[in-house]
A and B are shown apart, each in its own frame.
Chain A
Amino acid sequence: GDSVTQMEGPVTLSEEAFLTINCTYTATGYPSLFWYVQYPGEGLQLLLKATKADDKGSNKGFEATYRKETTSFHLEKGSVQVSDSAVYFCALVIPPGAGSYQLTFGKGTKLSVIP
């Protein structure tokens, strides 16, 4: 079945450091890819998405490029802030034929940024 594998956390970085969180996927079809962020005590917020190969999603300084040849969608940010501390989830969805929209999530990577 479809699955998403993320790098194990937790990840601890100093403020202004460079961030990479690796994500690879296995899918039977041609998926759309997402990064969601979950702040403590809250639900999930969509951070960025990409729907086809070589698309780059970006938001709030975060970027991820859909790499079909390596089945990857790694999240990057050039300079992290304390406010970026959260759990980050990589997810995919296969465009449905029957009108259902089921997100498949990775296990999440906890990021802590220290001043």
Chain B
Amino acid sequence: DAGVTQSPTHLIKTRGQHVTLRCSPISGHKSVSWYQQVLGQGPQFIFQYYEKEERGRGNFPDRFSARQFPNYSSELNVNALLLGDSALYLCASSLYPGRINQPQHFGDGTRLSIL
């Protein structure tokens, strides 16, 4: 079975541009979360979605937004890119949110570089 898939794998943008990252969860998983991992740091929570509704939001500016589609796939959008947005963006899926015994499964991430 396919795991969590993210696209693209690598992306280069310049300051001020906009970017859209995509995530397809494991088949049957209804919850998707997004994390930002800056080089040398642990991942930081950005968003969680379940059934197309936002269930949680981390401490990120309004330039970051996301949505979930009826097929449970998700997009993360970042506007007005800054150099500090350079990071690995990870998507994770689970059957349902908030269930400790249902771990999150992570994709391999999208590496975003801002020039």
Contacts and interface: CB of A to CB of B under 8 A. Distances in A.
B94 A43 contact: no
Interface residues of A, number: 28
A109 to B, nearest CB: 10
B58 interface: yes
B42 A107 contact: yes
Contacts of B55: 98-100
B4 interface: yes
A43 B93 CA distance: 12
A101 to B, nearest CB: 5
A104 B35 CA distance: 10
Nearest to B102: A101
Contacts of B4: 43
Interface string B39-53: 011111100101000
A103 B104 contact: yes
Interface in A52-76: none
Interface of A: 4, 32, 34, 36, 41-46, 49, 51, 89, 91, 93, 95-96, 98-108
Given A49-B103, A98-B55, A105 B44 contact: yes
Interface residues of B, number: 30
A43 B5 CA distance: 10
21 contacts: A36-B106, A42-B108, A43-B90, A43-B109, A44-B90, A46-B103, A46-B105, A89-B42, A98-B55, A98-B56, A100-B97, A100-B98, A101-B31, A101-B48, A101-B97, A101-B99, A102-B45, A102-B56, A103-B35, A106-B42, A107-B42
B33 interface: yes
B5 to A, nearest CB: 11
Contacts of A107: 40-42
Contacts of A43: 4, 90, 106-109
